[in-house]
Amino acid sequence: MSVYKAINAVQSDLAITGITKDRTNSQGSGYKFRGIDDVSKSIAPVLSKHGLSILPRVLSRSCEERTSKNGGALFYVTVEAEFDFVSAEDGSKHTVKTFGEAMDSGDKATNKAMSAAYKYAAFQAFSIPTESDNDADAHTHEVSSAMEDAIRNAKSIESLQVIWSALNVHQKKIYEKVKEESKARLTEVTA
């Protein structure tokens, strides 16, 4: 079956050239990563050279709406995908199954999740070292906690006091700023 010869040839070429981590996450901890464009740019010529195509198939998709630390909507998407690695020589194929996860505040969460699934399918199939690469592209999202959401969404000063009284000293230190913002908002509404 030619597909395994082609996969091995792509592995051999990528072992020589590799895919460097030249990009830096501009949010959060500033870690180095390889984006989908870096991976595609490195892999595409080698796939073509060795007559190997990668065909995606999404098996399932889930989407969960979360709240960002700033109160905006974040869409958290997980896709389960299969990628058929197909030899142009004889049509033989090998399938790699993987998952992709991503968050976005707009309409790109699914695209990002699909890109992540493709990238990691390629890493697995071609033995590309990841060096603990945990990027979700270049964006770090901070998700608020359920408690922060409850404080932020309190409907009255009384309900805010009930929530606050249930917190321990440590939690009160963490959520003090959110409580003061909510208290100011509720006081303004009732004034």
pLDDT at residue 191 is higher than 50: yes
Tell me, yes or no, whether 26 and 112 share the same domain.
yes
- Domain-terminating residue out of 125, 154, 179: 125
Closest to 43 in 3D by CA, of 88, 11, 81, 8: 11
List pLDDT tens digits, range 35-55.
888 888 889 999 999 999 999
140 within some domain: no
106 within some domain: yes
**Token pair belonging to 166:** 């249930």
| More confident: 64 or 128 | 64
Q: Are 114 and 149 in contact (CB under 8 A)?
A: no
Q: State the pTM of this model.
A: 0.65
- How many domains does the chain divide into? 2
List pLDDT tens digits, range 27-36.
767 777 788 8
| More confident: 88 or 74 | 88
Give the CATH number for residue 17: 3.30.390
Tell me, yes or no, whether 31 and 113 share the same domain.
yes
Q: Which domain holds residue 181?
A: 146-190
Closest to 74 in 3D by CA, of 49, 29, 109: 109
| More confident: 49 or 68 | 49
Tell me, yes or no, whether 117 and 151 share the same domain.
no
112 within some domain: yes
pLDDT at residue 165 is higher than 50: yes
Tell me, yes or no, whether 112 and 154 share the same domain.
no
Tell me, yes or no, whether 78 and 16 share the same domain.
yes
Tell me, yes or no, whether 119 and 151 share the same domain.
no
93 within some domain: yes
Outline where the chain has alpha helix (H): 2-17, 36-49, 109-125, 146-152, 157-165, 169-190
Tell me, yes or no, whether 105 and 183 share the same domain.
no
pLDDT at residue 76 is higher than 50: yes
